Structure 1
Amino acid sequence: MRIAVIGAGALGSTFACLLAAQGHDLVVTMRAGALSAVRSDGIQLSGGFGDLLAHPLAVDRLSKPCDLALICTKAQDAAAAIAENAAVLDGTPVIVVQNGLDGVTTAERLLPRSECFGLITIIAAHYEGPGRVRVTTVAPSYLGRGDGEVDAQTQRWQAVLAAATPTVALDNFVGAQWTKLVVNMLNALPAITGLSVQAVIGEAGLRRLVTRSMRETVRVALATGVRFGALQGLSHRRLHLFALAPVWAGQLLPRSMRARMGTVPNQGSTLQSLARGQRTEIDFLNGAVVRAANAAGLAAPMNTLLTELVHEVEQRGRFLAPAEVLARFR
């Protein structure tokens, strides 16, 4: 099968290698600066999935049809990347591999003849340079679309992905996106402080902020009628109870997430973007909570300030010390 991966960053490169290992014909799109390295040396994957080397066709944009496409850009780059390749992609089944809530609807709007699916992945991968990626956490991915039950086409593409990496077809995908958004509340403070996710959760004051941002996210979702999808041991009932619990008890949630990560430092995708001098996707993570709250006439002060602080780090080019961060929330 000919498969296109749009955006060969950390996750795009990971999926390209895993699918190539199954014998698929891969073509990847990437920024011009990385093309020569991948064309000469391929994509090298190390870490949790073992050592893999793939030699996909590397291009700046698609020119030939494919059987399936994975959109693996950051959320803020998705619309431009899809539009740039729309002449080839429209009519091709598309799987959007992204954080946030808007990826699938963006693809559906720009590719009206395509069947569009979403993939939530818990894999943690570190981009070490063009064509070099290290997987720090191996975990399942979850495929679906809409808020109903799994359909036949979802099952078809789940089988393709599952041959390469553990993949589950998921009911209530929209609810699961909200569940993953709660998990993605781990991203902001590492980007603000420069610390790993594990280190942030290990700091009592920062862990309290993470817990408060997660609790605010759950409360906004519940107030707007969201029913959370089951994901990574999280369920609607568990998150509902978490939203009612005091902050001191709620800190068990980020602690349990840190335990699953292991000891290899996890920077989180937002901090990785800063390290590469790229815009972050914070407006599609914490910012998505703020937009949902505003649309419902609610306030989301925790996520508003976290979004502002990430943008401050982007603009000033320096991290904030934990004590300075805590002072901003007083």
Structure 2
Amino acid sequence: MKINSLTKVSNKPKFYLIFHCNLAFSSIDEDQLNEVIAKSYFPLLEIVKSTNTKTGIELSGYTLEKLSKLAPLFIDELKILSKSGLVEVIASGYQQIIGPIVPYKVNVKNQELGLKVYENFLGIKPRVAFLNEQVFSKSMVDIYKEFYDAICMEWNNPYSINAHYWQESYGFAPAIAKGIKTQIPIIWTNSILFQQFQRTATSQNTLENYLSMIERFIKKGYRYLPIYSSDLEVFNFRPGRFNTENNINTNEWKNIEKIFLALKNYGEFLLPCEVLQFANKKIALDLSNPVYPIIVKKQPKYSLSRWSVAGLGGHYINTLCHNCYDSTKNKADKKSWK
């Protein structure tokens, strides 16, 4: 990826995108993978090229391996766009594990294996990582600092639990996240912004209303806006497993194209790593606190137990998991760890 150390930009607001790709998504059956790749994955690359919009694409090593078998052309196109500087590949490890609930060594191995896959298939080492499911603990800062220049994490919940101490202006630009022993730059994501993007792309909101919201954010002082930072598989595809799914009434990628082009009248798109140059290094934040030592994304229903082995038989299953870890932790071969 060809990026100057200091990208020349204007004084316009800056926008950035992070599309999250996950072919291990539990809502998608194995026999639907080719369909979702055709309807969601390839169209993203096409719209990036046709609108010349800089875009971040986050995917795990496992998803890359799946794509290499099911859609090797996607890998080829992604590699070309990455080298051209139009796309930035964002890391998330080999699997989309929830870091704070697994041992330290599992976290480290997950990143090491993921980086090897990025290198093998794309010939790159990502600079930026996306915290899986936007679950944060201070220990994650220390782990990710070993491998990356920055992390991406949601602004909304850290701000809500620290509202008595934080100013909203802390979210206007990238800042610094404190860990236990170290610190790392943090590129904010925003669940309000990505949900409104989804609603507009899927025809549940009008483009006019969406742009009015963007104008309000800009007027407040937000100069670096995470326009989208969530699932790719929700566009032009529905897994058909939820009664709440809205129908696909139009080509949603056409709607996304309209959003991209309209936003370019307000500001310019940068890659996530390019936004790092605007980080306010004077703002070093404790995202968590004693009441909320671990933070999750979006609504309170996304508690840590959502991803933990809990409920009936949970103790037994966790025991099996820990036994598996004990038998693996001293092994060096990557196959055992995968």
Higher relative contact order (CA 8 A, sep 6+): 2
**Greater share of residues in helix:** 1
